[in-house]
Amino acid sequence: MRKITIDEFKNFTFLSGIEHAPDGKHAAFAVHGVDLDGNKYLSNLYVLDTKTEKTRKLTAFNKEASFKWLDDENILFTTIREDKDKEDQESLKEFTQVYKINIHGGEADRYLRFNKKVLSYEILKSGEILASVYFDNNAKDQLTLDDSALGDELKRLKEEKDYEVLEEIPYWSNGGGFTSMKRSRLSLFDEKGQFVKYLSSEFTDVEQIKLNEEKDHAVILSTTFQNKAPLFNELTIFDGTTILPLETKGLSLSYADFLNEKTLILIGTDMKKLGINENSKFYLYDLEKGELSLLTEDLDRSMYSSVGSDARYGGGNQRMVSEGAFYFTSTEGTDSYLMKVDQEGLVSKVFAEEGSVDSFSIQKGHVLYIGMKNTSLQELYTLEDTGSKALTTFNDWVKEELLLSIPEKLSYALEDGETIDGFVLKPIGYEKGKKYPVLLEIHGGPKTVYGSVFYHELQYFASQGYFVIFSNPRGSDGKGNAFSDIRGKYGTIDYEDLMNFTDLALATYEDMDQENLFVTGGSYGGFMTNWIIGHTHRFKAAASQRSISNWISMFNTTDIGYYFADDQTASSPWDNQEKMWWHSPLKYSDQVQTPTLFIHSEEDYRCWLTEGLQMFTALKYHGVDARMCMFRGENHELSRSGKPKHRVRRLTEIDNWFKTYLPKED
């Protein structure tokens, strides 16, 4: 067996998007790999026979990352394959090409071509297609132009690519680029993909479309705005002809679906008690009576999996209706489980096993899910009476070939009886009585969690001879609203929890070298790294990634800043500015002595580049050893889905920075 390498993720297989066929006899999912030399990811579709439990590869073009079932035996996916489509794409002509492939074999055929840029779509019983399409209010609608006018417009768009005009907030989004005056507009197409009509205004942004079982109605979540996007959205019904608004009494909804033909199930919160991170509740909407009712008044848990890892790629269902019940993933403690709520509001676990449920599908009681368990990477599982059964072995080689450190749980109690949970990875090749450096890793969010699941970065540093320690301080997910609510407390109780956990680890593991402590984290973890170096000198070196350093600039420059910063700091640049500055690590940068590396992506619009630059400048100004590595063409997701070579460079920068400040071995 061998140690894990810095580019080991190039050998991993990632799974996403498991979904049953309508009849339940088959299921499909996407399989992703890494081409390090080509600096890209390779994605193909696989199909599972649910009776024999055998899987086989369905596509081989390495570009098929998502799909939709057309019927029991045919799958649809969008891609660009032919030269003419590539030319149209390069010319900025709007279209979307959909292919069809039979699950029993054969080549994929062109199925339909939308004459708009389609972002998502659902096929109605009538054959018509309900879709959300890209709509730019700053451009001419290409559907209204003849060939000559279209040519002029495409020429203008190319000439205008060097300019951006901003007229609203947010004006950009992480991973989405500049978004000012751009929307996802609800539209109707015929069965061949030809545009019929718009169903929403030019300023309405569609977030979700779900069909009923008969596929003749749809429930839609959307937001209509100009100048500033609100936090509260709109719920509407498409009855096959028109859009009908539904009253939601001031809820911010994250999900809506048909529980049955007469009832909608909604996930939402009014955010009045605990702000934007408040755990949502389930609501029912009676379509016949037009009445909204609360289904789960006492429910206090997240309705998604927030267990972190850098060994995933792609997404998939974490919420769905099946046979009159609603299923969802939820984080509890350091794991995520598959949960169920019935029409009476009874919430129960479908199963509870350590690890994470990353996506799932349920059809006629048959459960399939993609998950991570202990130090195993993603596999496809089914659920039996005795528990989970793995249906794939893509990543079995990892445990057979690599030396892995097994997470050891370490917890302590708070005064209120709640616990701070964390883990310790011992160095690979650990010898009792020998001293080893310690790396404190801090997760993002802050409302996420570390679990026992595989994390390449953490395992790599264990292979390099570090004790790696990581925990879930107050502000994290998995323990209810009271635990996760740190509004106006950033840098206080969460900092205290992290330092106490570090002290506990040092006291518990006598071979940890307290003279050689290192710290790193990203996003909220980057904020906390910046905070730590301004409040203690106990760490030999730090690496701050995609961080926040100044809540005032974060408020005014990022995609979520104008509502996230004031909510989380309980202040704004104009209301109690002193408090917002007090919570900003930049305020304390003149106290920093810790050599610090800053990692930031040029297109990170969640925690913009200026956050790292300000802290870097401050340290340099005050004579502290600092370095900054900026990644072009990357965003907030660099460490998880950035270009493969960039991911290697990021980890190499951190590794080399820490080694610079490690004592040289004799």
Over range 598-612, report the average pLDDT: 98
Over range 191-202, report the average pLDDT: 97
Residue 246 lies in a domain: no
Bridge partner residues of 118 (DSSP) = 133
Residue 222 lies in a domain: no
Residue ending a domain, choose from 211, 242, 268: 211
Model confidence over 56-78: pLDDT tens digits?
A: 999 999 999 999 999 999 999 99
Over range 457-478, report the average pLDDT: 99
Model confidence over 319-375: pLDDT tens digits?
A: 999 999 999 999 999 999 999 999 999 999 999 899 999 999 999 999 999 999 989
99, 19: one domain: yes
Residue 250 lies in a domain: no
522, 655: one domain: yes
480, 598: one domain: yes
Residue 339 lies in a domain: no
φ, ψ of residue 401 in degrees (nearest 5): -115, -25
- Other CB atoms within a 10 A radius of the CB of residue 120 amount to 15
% of the chain exceeding 90 in pLDDT: 98
What Å distances lie between residue 633 and 177, 526, 645, CA to CA?
Answer: 11, 20, 12
Domain CATH for 104? 2.40.128
Residue 251 lies in a domain: no
Domain CATH for 557? 3.40.50.1820
Task: Reply yes or no on whether the pLDDT at 296 is more than 70.
Answer: yes
Domain residues for the domain of 578 are 405-660
Note the pLDDT of residue 105. Answer: 85
Residue 243 lies in a domain: no
76, 164: one domain: no
100, 195: one domain: no
Average pLDDT of the residues of the chain: 97
Task: Reply yes or no on whether the pLDDT at 249 is more than 90.
Answer: no
Model confidence over 12-68: pLDDT tens digits?
A: 999 999 999 999 999 999 999 999 999 999 999 999 999 999 999 999 999 999 999
Residue ending a domain, choose from 372, 404, 436: 404
Task: Reply yes or no on whether the pLDDT at 4 is more than 80.
Answer: yes
Over range 295-301, report the average pLDDT: 95
398, 453: one domain: no
Note the pLDDT of residue 665. Answer: 74
3-class SS letters over 537-576: CCCCEEEEECCCCCHHHHHHHCCCHHHHHHHHHCCCCCCC
Burial of 33 (0-12, 13-18, 19+ CB in 10 A): middle
72, 138: one domain: no
Q: Are strands 14-20 and 408-413 parallel, antiparallel or unpaired?
A: unpaired
436, 373: one domain: no
443, 384: one domain: no
Task: Reply yes or no on whether the pLDDT at 508 is more than 70.
Answer: yes
Residue 458 lies in a domain: yes
Q: Name, in order, each residue with C-beta under 8 angstroms of 284's C-beta and a sequence gap of 6 or more.
A: 259, 263, 264, 265, 266, 292, 293, 295, 343
Note the pLDDT of residue 374. Answer: 86
Residue 486 lies in a domain: yes
536, 481: one domain: yes
| Token code pair at residue 568 | 């989380």
Q: Are 585 and 615 in contact (CB under 8 A)?
A: yes
416, 542: one domain: yes
| Token code pair at residue 504 | 């506990």
Note the pLDDT of residue 666. Answer: 60
Per DSSP, 199 falls in state: -
Identify the band that residue 611 occupies on the pLDDT scale cut at 50, 70 and 90: very high
635, 523: one domain: yes
Residue ending a domain, choose from 181, 211, 241: 211
Q: How many structural domains comprise the chain? A: 3
